[in-house]
Structure 1
Amino acid sequence: MGVLAITLSALAAATLGVAGCGGPGSYSGPPPDELVSELSREDMRDLCVWVLDLHGGAGSEHLCSGGVSVTLDSVDECVRDQDEFDDCSLTVRQWEDCVLDTRDDPCGILTARSCRPVAACYF
């Protein structure tokens, strides 16, 4: 059985030092009700940095159950992949809530209730 690898652009969180005020656990900084697809490049970079910081940094790989792995892209790849959200109504706060709920287990993006809006953009 092969391994399914899911590369998260930001989670990518956005997806490595913390942007915005406070430390890990605070929010990323961009307006919470803004659609990810409509963020400025600067705000998208802030979101990507924040996500990656909370999930172990660019290139970190997390082995999940069922032969699935979650690998985080670099900040630049995350920002470049912003157009993947064009057909998705994901808000900054929805992504932040998912990341905060899964910061100790990035594989949770596949199952956590708060991550359903994020997963809907990928699958």
Structure 2
Amino acid sequence: DQAAVGRAVLSGLARRPSLIAAVLAEADGRTISSGRLEFHPGTDFASLWGGGTVAAWRGRGVFRSLVAYRAALARERGFRYLQVDATPDSRPILQRLGFVEIATTTAYQIPGAPE
């Protein structure tokens, strides 16, 4: 549910704005791409989440620019690694930006949680 994700991100921004950066790209006053960056103090990791671009704007480097911008924000704060759950569409973009896969994650369902 995208609306629920949006509410959760806004709530996190309101509670702890220093731990989340929400970024967007606009054209003609409309949002064409967005994503967020979460900072994990006390670790070497920040994480990229929710990146996406309006279909008409794909292939023009907008998503790539937002990834590079968020990576720069993380680097400026001293983070060494970015955790990204890359889709097949975003993986090549990350690789062209020089990102190197060093590990993968496996998701587990909590026993008794709704499916």
* Pairwise TM-score range, normalised by the shorter structure: under 0.3
Higher gyration radius (CA): 2
**Structure with larger RCO (C-alpha < 8 A, sep 6+):** 1
Pick the structure with more strand per residue.
Answer: 2
Report which of the two has the higher share of helix: 1
Q: What is the TM-score normalised by the length of structure 1?
A: 0.25
